Structure 1
Amino acid sequence: MKYALVTGGSRGIGRAVCIQLAQDSEYHILINYNSNKVAAEEVKAAVEAHGKTATLLPFNVTDATAVQTALDTWQDENKDAIIEVIVNNAGITKDGMFMWMPQEDWHTVINTSLNGFFNVTNHLVQKLLRNRYGRIINMVSVSGLKGNPGQTNYAAAKGAVIAATKSLSQEIAKRNITVNAVAPGFIKSDMTADLDEKELKKMIPANRFGAVEEVAHLVSFLASKKASYITGEVISINGGIYS
């Protein structure tokens, strides 16, 4: 059986991606989450409502040992299972002006987005190479492309993942494995709930925040065989705010 793994799959964009992949593909969905089991269970139920199957896979992407243990244990229990799609979606923000930023806020954000990408992808990439097929999709941000005041840590993390996306894509393209990044702008989700939407949408040519489902459609396309000649790309989805 073939699988798609979505990190941070219990809420927001990750939740929408799990449900969209269930609608668009034949993949069994692996829903990774860190602490919110109730939300993850709800996503599993939503996937199953579309007639597909899902498995909860709890681990903290920042903990390399926990990542390896969880994935290896799951693989041991599912000998014939093949993960073909990896969506590195787990990420957090700890916004604040750089001059007052505590070390912990710097490291936590870098660890989740950048080291989380490494811990999950590095552990699985050899299997993708052996299977000579795969899709790696990294959720980044408009902040990683243009920067954003108050988000030096987040911009640094996402900018690094963008550079890693471009490099890794060149290493493994010959094995039919694509590596792309999706860079959302302002999307309605838990992460943007505290933002002043009325004020911010004045900066957005489309004059609105995006929906998580719109991002999920793009991820689903990149995860499909239709996107086989797209690799090393950073695709913005931001209503025209920055291209």
Structure 2
Amino acid sequence: MVKMKRKAAFITGTGRSQGIGAGICRELAKDGHDILFTYWTKYDEEVSFHRKKDEVTDIQNEIISYGVRCEKIELDLQDTSSFKKGFQYCKNTLGRYPDVLVNNAAVSINDTIYTITPESLDEHYRVNVRAATILTSEFVKQFEGEYGRIINITTGWSQGPMPDELSYVLTKSAVETLTYTLAPVLAEKNITINAINPGPTDTGWMTDDIKQDILKRSPSGRIGEPKDCANLTAFLASERAEWVTGQVIHSEGGFRNSL
């Protein structure tokens, strides 16, 4: 049996062990991928009061326990110099450019048509649109593997209105456009690109009231967990998913946006 060359995966937005990014790192590591993940402490501390000290080191140590290499790098994805820096760091530490890119990092700060500001919209754009697009461009230009995988984490904006998250849904909608627009171009390089809407996912932010409301609309009888998105990501990152590209997959257990 020919031993397959180990793949390298680059996952953005992995600052908390309860988050979707950390869940994706775990599942890809279990499948034998070496991992490089990014985080940005300032944002995590601003929006996540439950972040633990040394959490990224704990995540790294856990990933290493699966028998793969794992590196981490703090990157401000609003800084355009971070894009090339991340890929070069992957090459320097893991010995190769990534075969898998997961655009998981996002800015998500609630606003409405009454409270939206140019500054807030720009902040969402710089990470949710610009960073995802340029990271994708850098991935494609640096790609040197047998097959490549790009997985974009999106949201359920197309499943129903989300007026209290206006900047977030406006910018996240561009991720889906990016996905299906690039699919035929990237197929020529044996790279697939897909997007996942994980639906409401319990990463530590939900109150009891929010959980009860979601459960009323969840025919599966439970709330989404990071492992749900991570399991689908692992499939899309695998060789088995070679015929799936340009898709937005709604992985939400039958969740209904409205009662």
Same fold (TM > 0.5): yes
CA RMSD of aligned residues (A): 2.2
Query: What residue is the counterpart of 2:8 in the other structure?
Result: 3
Residues 146/109 of structure 1: CA separation in 2 closer, same or farther (3 Å cut)? same
1:83 to 95, 98, 110: 98
SS at match of 1:100: coil
Change (3 A) 1:135 1:71: same
User: Is 1:238–2:252 an aligned residue pair?
Assistant: yes
Q: Does 2:150 match 1:136?
A: yes
Aligned ranges for residues 46-125 of structure 1 at < 5 Å? 46-75=62-91, 77-78=92-93, 80-125=95-140
Contact 1:143 1:154 in 2 (8 A): no
Identical-residue share of aligned pairs (%): 27
> Unaligned 5+ residue runs, structure 2?
1-5, 45-52
**How many angstroms does 1:113 deviate by?**
1.3
Q: Distance in 1 between matches of 2:251 and 2:146?
A: 29
Instruction: Summarize the Cα distance change of 1:56–1:101 in structure 2 as closer, same or farther, 3 Å threshold.
Output: same
Which SS does the other structure have where 1:63 is aligned? coil
User: How far apart in 2 are the matches of 1:194 and 1:62?
Assistant: 33
Corresponding residue of 1:149: 163
Once the 2 structures are TM-superposed, how far is the Cα of residue 9 of structure 1 from its aligned partner?
1.9
Matched residue count: 240
Q: Is 2:40 the partner of 1:34? A: yes
Kindly report which structure 2 residues correspond to 1:192-203, keeping only aligned pairs within 5 A, or say none: 192=206, 196-203=210-217
Equivalence for 1:182: 196
- Contact 2:23/2:227 (8 A) holds in 1: yes
Q: Which runs of 4+ in 1 moved over 6 A?
A: none
1:58-107 residue CA offsets vs partner (Å, 9 max, x unmatched): 211221112223433553x3594131000000012111222222222222
Structure 2 counterpart of 1:17: 24
SS for the counterpart of 1:150 is: coil
Higher helix content, 1 or 2: 1
